[in-house]
Structure 1
Amino acid sequence: MSALRFAAVAALLGVALAPAAAQAHRSWLAPSATVLSGAQPWVTVDGAVSNTLFYADHVPMRLDGVKAVGPDGAPVAIQNGATGKYRSTFDVQLASPGTYKIANVSEGAMASYKQGGETKRWRGAVGQLATALPKDATDVQVTYSSRRVETFVTAGAPNTTALKPEGKGLELEPITHPNDLVASEKARFRLLTDGKPAAGVEVEIVLGGVRYREKGPELKVTTGADGVFEVSWPEAGLWWLEATVQGADASGARKSSGYVATLEVLPD
């Protein structure tokens, strides 16, 4: 995918989709806590796209694609949502014990085509594509893009129902529970694309919270044939994980899918 096309996709989704080596802005969801106790606790989540991880200094994350799934797999309400200049914020009540998945999911389509000898472009929602292009369009090239930004929180004893993949786009299937990560202990995860193992995908893992100190650790690992990758956390903290896959579907349309997670690693 050309740099121009990639930039257009990023603008469509409202998040930073540039390759990790060149990007300045990173999208993230940061919960106020990841492991909570007590009766029906609350968690506040910040969402932004920033230069410095987990410090809102660029643009807010849009909340229209944010959703939460509870310990029983049912949707959970997003409450008190607000969007400011640099960040968005919202609350989730953990009314039942167990693990919750909070995600911002976005997808879109972009097309270039010729009409009357002139090259034109369109971008918008996937469902609009079929009727958006003129009937006399030729040399049509389509790109589908999706992006999933996630974090995980647990009230009381953890469970795994909310962690079940949806089978669409690039997703993380935890093997090690995402709220049971400890520094110096290895963790294992599986990347899936459209429900199938994503083999040979590079995963970037970066420690956040380094605004007032030297640059923190940055790890890069690659998934195996089964989509599994392993991480040895060098220290505790809030970590940011990102991966991207690109390909084509049966019709020849390009596909780009990105995944981001915020994970808290506790001291050993």
Structure 2
Amino acid sequence: MKLSLRTLALGLALSAGAAAVQAHNAWLMPSSTVLSKADWVTVDAAVSNDLFFFNHNPLNLDSLAVTAPDGSAVKPENMFKGKLRSVFDLNLTQPGTYRVALVNDGIFARWKDKATGQTKRARGTAESLAAQIPADALEVEITQSAGRNETFITVGKPSTLRATGKGLELVTANPTDLVKGEKTSFTLQLDGQPAKDLEVTVTLGNTRYRDKLDELKLKTDAKGQFSVTWPVAGMYWLDVSTTDQKTSVPKAKERRLSYAATLEVMP
């Protein structure tokens, strides 16, 4: 089933709509996506009404994972959470392509309190929810969610990205070599397999300066592939979401999956 809500599995609803009713989009924005040599990069993380402007909420960085070209973990430095954005620095010393991602694997529960008849809601892990839901709760509904929100940075020569085989993932030869007017082919995977027949939305940033969002609506084929011909240079936000019943949590009947990425297109 295709979700009508462009959801990040961070518990943030990203409602699609006209510019007059702006969606809340969650994104990561690096100060640079391509470096000629080892250097520092600062990354902003926020939820906003307008793409890439800090005007709503900061993103929680608890699930931040930065992966170096050799697969090792990179420790972010100078992490800060403000009123409108979160910020962190990365010291990128290894040549190749880095994956900077917020990865979420959570559980949402809803039930009716037997004594009061009121609907209750909670989110957390399987262990924490087990402690929150009363044994006599009625109409218990448990939903698993898995989301990835990421961006990419290349130092020197690009390297092949290492897929995790978990949830929705974007597969491409070089996500930092995108050029205006050229076509880029991507493959979307779901648990390591082609994610077919899914709608992918690509939106150019700086939406606050446009009357229309001018989103590109694309669809993956039977191999999970889709292509984008970039109309102009700039920062883009790509997102896709879906649901299935392949849950790994007891009593969960549905799994909600989401993916989002910030990509830079050069002139």
TM range (shorter): 0.7 to 0.9
Instruction: Read off the aligned partner of 1:29 and give its amino acid letter.
Output: L
Corresponding residue of 1:134: 134
Q: How many residues align?
A: 258
Query: Once the 2 structures are TM-superposed, how far is the Cα of residue 116 of structure 1 from its aligned partner?
Result: 3.4
Aligned to 2:151: 151
**Is the contact made by 1:189 and 1:229 (CA closer than 8 Å) also made in structure 2?**
yes
With 208-217 and 42-51 compared, the bigger mean Cα shift is at: 208-217
Q: Contact 1:27–1:49 at 8 Å: present in 2 too?
A: yes
Q: 2:101 aligns with which of 98, 103, 111?
A: 103
Structure 2: gaps spanning 5 or more residues: none
Q: Give 1:183-222 correspondences, 5 Å limit.
A: 183-212=180-209, 215=212, 217-222=214-219
1:243 to 220, 223, 240: 240
**Cα–Cα, structure 1 residues 209 and 23, in superposed 2: closer, same or farther, change >3 Å?**
closer
Inter-partner Cα distance in structure 1 for 2:114 and 2:12: 34
Using the alignment, how far apart are the partners of 2:134 and 2:210 within structure 1? Answer: 54
Mapped contact 1:31–1:44 kept (Cα < 8 A): yes
- 1:258 is matched with 258
**Matches for 1:26-175 after TM superposition, within 5 Å:** 26-38=25-37, 40-114=38-112, 116=114, 118=117, 120-127=119-126, 128-160=128-160, 163-174=161-172
Q: Which range is displaced more, 205-214 or 234-243?
A: 205-214
What is the alpha-carbon distance in structure 1 between the residues aligned to residue 148 and residue 51 of structure 2? 17
CA distance, structure 2, for counterparts of residue 62 and residue 252 of structure 1: 25
Q: Alpha-carbon deviation of 1:139?
A: 3.4
Identity %: 45
Moved more, 210-219 or 180-189: 210-219
The alpha carbon displacement at 1:215 in A equals 4.7
Partner of 1:16: 13
Q: How many Å separate the matches in 1 of 2:22 and 2:190?
A: 23
Q: What displacement does 1:135 show?
A: 3.2
C-alpha RMSD over aligned residues:
2.6
Deviation at 1:217, TM superposition (A): 3.9
Structure 1 stretches (4+) deviating beyond 6 angstroms?
A: none
For the residue of structure 2 that corresponds to 1:57, the secondary structure is: coil
The alpha carbon displacement at 1:252 in A equals 6.2
Instruction: Give distance in 2, aligned partners of 1:20 and 1:244.
Output: 16
Match of 1:231 among 219, 228, 247: 228
SS in 1 for 2:222: coil
CA distance in 2, matches of 1:245, 1:18: 14
TM-score relative to the length of structure 2: 0.87
Aligned-pair CA distance for 1:114:
4.4
Structure 1 length-normalised TM: 0.86
* Contact 1:107/1:125 (8 A) holds in 2: no
How far apart are 1:212 and its partner, in Å?
4.2
Task: Verify the 8 A CA contact 1:45 1:89 in the aligned structure 2.
Answer: yes
Tell me the alpha carbon deviations over residues 193-228 of structure 1, each in whole angstroms, 9 at most, x when there is no partner. Answer: 222211111000011034446656420100011111
CA deviation vs aligned residue, 1:58-105 (integer Å, no higher than 9, x gap): 111111111100010010011111111111111111111111000011
The 3-state SS of whatever aligns with 1:178 is coil
Distance in 2 separating the partners of 1:145 and 1:216? 27
Conserved in 1, the CA contact under 8 Å of 2:151 and 2:261?
A: yes
Return the alpha-carbon distance in structure 2 between the equivalents of residues 88 and 66 of structure 1. Answer: 11
Structure (1/2) with the larger helix percentage: 1
Instruction: Write the letter of the residue equivalent to 1:62.
Output: N
SS of 1:141's partner is strand
Paired position in structure 2 for 1:182: 179
Contact 1:15 1:61 in 2 (8 A): no
CA change 1:191–1:17 in 2 (3 A) is same
Residues in 1 aligned to 2:32 and 2:129: alpha-carbon distance in whole angstroms = 40
Residues 116, 58 of structure 1: CA spacing in aligned structure 2 closer, same or farther, 3 A cutoff? Answer: closer
